[in-house]
Amino acid sequence: MNLILFIFIVLLGFTSYYFGRKKAYTIQSTNKRLTALPQFYGYYLAIWCAIPAFIIFSLWAIFEPTIVKLLILSDYSNQGYLDDELNLIYEKTKALSRGQFTGEITPFIEASAEKYLSLRSIAQSSKAVIVLSIIIASVAYAYKKISSNSRTREPVEKFLKVVLFTASLAAILTTVGIVFSLIFQTIDFFKVIPLFDFVFGTHWYPAKAFVRDSSEALDPTMYSDTFGAVPIFAGTFFIAFIAMCVAIPIGLMSGIYLAEYASVKVRQYAKPLIEILAGIPTVVYGFFAALTVGPFLKEIGNSMGLDVSAESALAAGGVMGIMIIPFISSLSDDVITSVPQSLRDGSYAMGATKSETIKKVIFPAALPGIVGSILLGVSRAIGETMIVVMASGLAANLTLNPLESTSTITAQIVVILIGDQAFGDPKTQAAFALGMSLFLVTLCLNIVALRVVKKYREKYE
């Protein structure tokens, strides 16, 4: 129904474009000068068609559900139901009218469902009538208004500019969306669990929070030893640390070699090949870590008499390090190549070898950029999910032994939220609180890193 209406409106838009242009041609044929190209007259009419349609559609989307709900619930108004019960009745009505209702159907609800359906169909048809009549009226008004000396290009361009501007707000809206989706759940979570317990507690057993009778009131004391995030934070930074131990030396040295030593041919082939590593989906790395690297490390460890978990932090961190190599190598490559040649020439003129020049002159000059690239790598490592979910453990151990399994923020979010979630449950809220801390940490790292890199670029440009 909505689709048909939409298609109809689009067709109307095209028709009004055609009529607008036609009127412009008619004006032209009477030897009057137009103030804009004929198609602008068409666009002008089409906009007069689009804007009212958009406004009515959005108003309808906002108000229709509320009004229908009010009308349905007015049948129940003087029977002494509580608000929650009324909401439940409304949900049941909606489910029944969609045919998705499971459970006992009472005659009341059945009557409401029928009323709901008829109200919906009335709403739909009245929407169609209202939209179409208003559009036709507004287009007709605009059609009468345009004449040879009326301005059409300026309003059309202004409209386009508004559209462009609105699109550019999408980035801000996304950020706002992220913050909003996280913040409410997080606040609710901290109403039950004190912030102090979350940040400094050392026991993380969210599964315990699930063993709760939902009819009982929330008793904060029962969560006292459940949501201590220290093991999670420690595990996250530990695995990120292992990853950086692999990624920094290999990534940095490859970046230096590619920028300073490699011949054009080697560079031409090696650089894209290394960058393939960045294009491989993380779930593939996770499978690789869980299937190959984990058991391999376990075997090596066993042959040396060490007790290695098959889901060790080392396996997850090591594979994550491989994933981050290309980020560090290509960013540091860029940074090093943008160090001015004069610095190199100066150093060579003093008799320094190539490696001495790199170590003593180029590296210090490029250091801010390199630090920026490493910070971006760390932020990637902290936010990486699939490798940890598949290759590292899910139990939150507080350990610094790379051969044991640990868990991370991202892995815990997935563990908690996989399957069905009950909003309003402290366990679900805990995942959002973890997400909030992840967002804040990576945000800080990104801002610092981007600023450092930007400052550095300005210095040499």
Partner 1 sequence: MNKNKEQLLNKRYKAEKRFRLYGQSAIFMALLFLTIFIFKIFSTGYSAFQKTWLIVPVTFDAELMMLEQNPSKEDLKDADYYDIALKSMADLDPNANEDQENELKRMVSYFFEREIKRELLNDPSLIGKTKDVYLTASDDLDQVFKGNYPRDLPEDQRRVTDYQLKIFDQLVELGKVESKFNLSFFTYPDSREAELAGIASSFMGSIFSILVCLMIAFPVAVLAAIYLEEFAPKNRFTDFIEVNINNLAAVPSIVFGLLGLGILLAVFQLPRSTPLVGGITLSLMTLPTIIIACRASLKAVPPSIREAALAMGASKMQTTMHHTVPLSMPGTLSGTIIGLAQALGETAPLILIGMVAFVNTIPGSPLDPAASLPVQIYIWAESAERGFVEKVSACIMVLLGFLIIMNLFAQIIRHKFEKKWS
The residues in 276-315 that bind partner 1, with binding defined as CB under 8 A, are 276-277, 279-284, 286-288, 290-292
Nearer to partner 1, 129 or 176 (CB): 176
Tokens of 153: 């290009």
Which residue's CB is nearer to partner 1, number 52 or number 326? Answer: 326
3-state secondary structure (DSSP) of residue 385: coil
382 in contact with partner 1 (CB under 8 A): yes
Contacts of partner 1 in 389-408 (CB under 8 A):
389-390
Nearer to partner 1, 136 or 245 (CB): 245
Q: Which is nearer to partner 1, 109 or 388 (CB)?
A: 388
Which token pair is 197?
A: 């317990």
Among residues 149 and 292, whose Cβ is nearest to partner 1? 292
Neighbours of 269 (CB within 10 A): 10
Output the smallest distance, CB 134 to partner 1, in A: 26
Q: In the structure encoding, which two tokens stand for residue 265, read together?
A: 């041919």
Q: For the chain, how many helices (H) and strands (E)?
A: 18, 0
Q: What is the pattern of x (binds partner 1, CB under 8 A) and - over residues 79-118?
A: ----------------------------------------
Q: CA 382 → CA 235, 379, 434, 438, 442, distances in Å?
A: 10, 5, 12, 8, 7
Closer residue to partner 1 (CB): 24 or 138? 24
258 to 277: interface string for partner 1, x by CB under 8 A = x-xxx-------x--xx-xx
Query: Which residue of 180, 196, 200, 460 would you call a contact of partner 1, by CB under 8 A?
Result: 180
Residue 418 phi, psi (nearest 5): -75, 140
Rg (CA), the chain: 32
The interface with partner 1 within residues 362-381 (CB under 8 A) comprises 376, 379-380
Q: Residue 75 and residue 2: Cα distance in Å, rounded?
A: 28
- Shortest distance (Å) from residue 74 CB to partner 1: 23
Q: Which stretch, 12-20, 27-35, 360-368, 412-420, contacts partner 1 (CB under 8 A)?
A: 412-420
The correct pick among 386, 396, 430, 452 for binding partner 1 (CB under 8 A) is 386
Return the structure tokens found at 428.
């679900």
Bridge partners, residue 204, by sequence: 227
Find the binding residues for partner 1 in span 18-77 (CB under 8 A).
none
When asked if residue 10 is in the footprint of partner 1 (CB under 8 A), the reply is no
Cα–Cα distance measured from residue 408 to residue 243, given in angstroms and rounded to the nearest whole number: 13
Interacting positions 232-251 with partner 1 (CB under 8 A): 249-251
Q: Is-contact 425 348, C-beta < 8 A?
A: no
Strand partners, 227: 204
Distance CA 245, CA 325 (A): 11
Q: Of 437, 395, 433, 422, which is closest to residue 210 (Cα–Cα)?
A: 422
